[in-house]
Amino acid sequence: MIAATALTSIVYAGGINTNTNQHAAYQRNFAREATIDIDGAYSNPAGLVFMEDGLYAAFSVQCAFQERNIETTYAPFVMNGGSDTKKYEGEATAPFVPSLQAVYKKGDWAFSLNFSVPGGGGRATYDNGLPSFESMASSIPLALTAAGDSTGRYSINSYMKGQQYIFGTTLGVTHKFNENFSAYVGGRVAYAYNKYEGYIKDITVYPKSNGYKGIAAETYFEQTAQKLEKTAEQLTSLGQTATALQIEAKANEMKAYANKAKDKHVDCTQDGFGLAPIVGLDFKKGNVNIATRYEFRTKIRVKNKTVIDETGMYPDEEKSNCDMPALWTVGMDCNLLPNLKICLGYRYYFDKDAKMANDKQEKINHGTKEYAYGIEWDITKHVLISCGYLRTQYDFSDDYLSDMNFNQSSNNYGLGARFTLTKHLKLDVAGFITDYETRKKHVADYAGVGISGSDYYSRENFAFAIGANYKF
C-alpha cells in the first residue's frame, strides 16, 4: 500500500516543518537572529528600527539539491535480484525558491513585509519506489510457497513523487522605545500545498505451476480462487460440506491476495491556510546587539483533493493536520572590530506541540534545537565576506522514522559574500553544504509477516543563492 505521508523540510535548513533560510545572506551566515539588515524582516524584525531611515527592498532566489537514500535489508528481497539488501535513491530539489522582503523605516517606527516559503520547500522523487512498497509485494511469493506452489522470484514496478510547500506572507510593525530598546508585533498568513503521486503496479510472480514463467500476481490469485470455488461447489454437491467450507475459505484467502496484488495509484493534492502571531524584542548598546523572536504555532488543516486513490488512504475532502510548530529564537551580534563581526544564534522548535498527520508529533521525544555561528568581515567598503556553521539536532523515536518521512541531525557549513555595487544596491552570493548523520532503524516485524528488517537512512545536500538588496 502506498504510504505517502509528509515530505517535510525537503531540502531547506530548519526544523522538521520549518525553513529559516529566507534570504541569500542566511546561506553565508546562519546566525541571523540579531541582524540589523533588510533580512531582519524575517529573522529579527524588532531590530529594523536601528536601520537608517528609508525604504528598503530585497529579493533572493535560492536553489537546493538533495539525495535522500534508504538502504534496506529484508530477507524476502532476495527473490527480486538476488540480494536481501537494496538501495532506494531519491532526489529532492527546490530549483527556484524566491523570497521578498520590504521595510519602510522612519524615526522610531518600521513597517515590514516578508514573503517566503517558511515550510516545506521542494519536491522529492523515488523512481524505483520505496522499501515499504516492495516489502508489501515481497510477501506475495511467501504466500504461494506456503500454499504448496513454490516460487523464488517476483518483480514490481513502483514510483513515488511528493511536493510540499508552505507559502507565507508576514506583515508587522516595530517601535523603538528608547535609544537601546525596541519591540515588534506582527503576523503571518500561511498557505500549505502538498501533492502526492505514485503507484505500485505490475506485481509479477513466477510459480512452479506456471513453469516458473512470469504471471501477473493478481491474475494468478484470481485463477486460483476460481479453481478452488469450482472444487468447493463439486464437494458441496457430493455432500462434503465441511471440506467444501474449508476450500471456500482458501478461495477467499486467494481473493484477498489478488486484491493486494492489484495495481494501486495515488494522485492527491492537499491545501489549507493558517495564521500565526509573531513578537520580537531587540536591545542594542554600543557594538553589541541582542534580539529574540517568538512565532506562535501555525495551525493548518489541509484537505484532500483526490483524483485517484486505490489505496483507501486519501478519501476525497478528508482533512488532516499540517501545523508549523512554534519557534523561539535568540541571538547576539558583536563587532569585535569596526570591520569584523561575530554572530551567535539559537533556535528551539516546539515540535511536540504541533499537530501532524496521524499524530506523529507523539513520537517526537523533544523539540528540534539549532545552534548557529557566523563571522562577517568587511574586506573593503565594497566587499564583505562571511562564513557560518549551523548544528541542527533532532530528537525523536525510531517509530517516527519512515521511508517517506525521515530527518537526521546535521552540520551545515556556509560561505559567501556581499558586494556593494552602488550606494543603493548590494548583491549577496552564497552557498552551503550539509553533512547529515546517518541513522539505522531495526524493525522486528518489517512487513507484518514475522520477518525482521532494517532501514539505513542517509542524505547529501547542497544549496546556493543570489539576492539583491536595494535602498530607495
- Measured CA to CA in angstroms, residue 125 lies from 122, 130, 248 at distances of 10, 10, 42
376 confidence band (pLDDT: 50, 70, 90):
very high
Average confidence score pLDDT of the chain: 90
Per-residue pLDDT tens digits for 211-252 = 888 999 999 989 988 998 999 999 888 888 899 999 999 889
Residue 138 has pLDDT above 50, yes or no: yes
Residue 7 has pLDDT above 60, yes or no: no
Domain range summary for the chain, segments of one domain joined by +: 24-131+158-201+269-471
Residue 79 has pLDDT above 60, yes or no: yes
CA angle 330, 347, 357 (to 5 degrees): 145
Instruction: State the pTM of this model.
Output: 0.90
Residue 283 has pLDDT above 50, yes or no: yes
Q: Helix count (H) and strand count (E) of the chain?
A: 4, 18
13 confidence band (pLDDT: 50, 70, 90):
low
Residue for cell digits 535602498?
A: 471
- And the C-alpha cell for 163? 511536493
Mean pLDDT of 348-358: 88
User: E strands along 206-263, which residues?
Assistant: 215-216
Task: Report CA torsion sign: 359, 294, 331, 461.
Answer: positive
Fold (CATH) for 24-131+158-201+269-471? Porin (2.40.160)
- Measured CA to CA in angstroms, residue 36 lies from 42, 49, 343 at distances of 11, 8, 11
pLDDT of 362 reads 83
Per-residue pLDDT tens digits for 156-192 = 999 988 888 899 999 999 999 999 999 999 999 999 9
Beta-bridge partners for 285 = 288
- Measured CA to CA in angstroms, residue 207 lies from 102, 135, 221, 254 at distances of 66, 19, 11, 14
**C-alpha–C-alpha distance, residues 416 and 211, integer Å:** 64
Per-residue pLDDT tens digits for 317-344 = 999 998 999 999 999 999 999 999 999 9
Q: Answer whether 37's CB lies under 8 Å from 51's CB.
A: yes
Mean pLDDT of 126-137: 88
pLDDT of 257 reads 87
**C-alpha–C-alpha distance, residues 253 and 260, integer Å:** 11
pLDDT of 4 reads 42
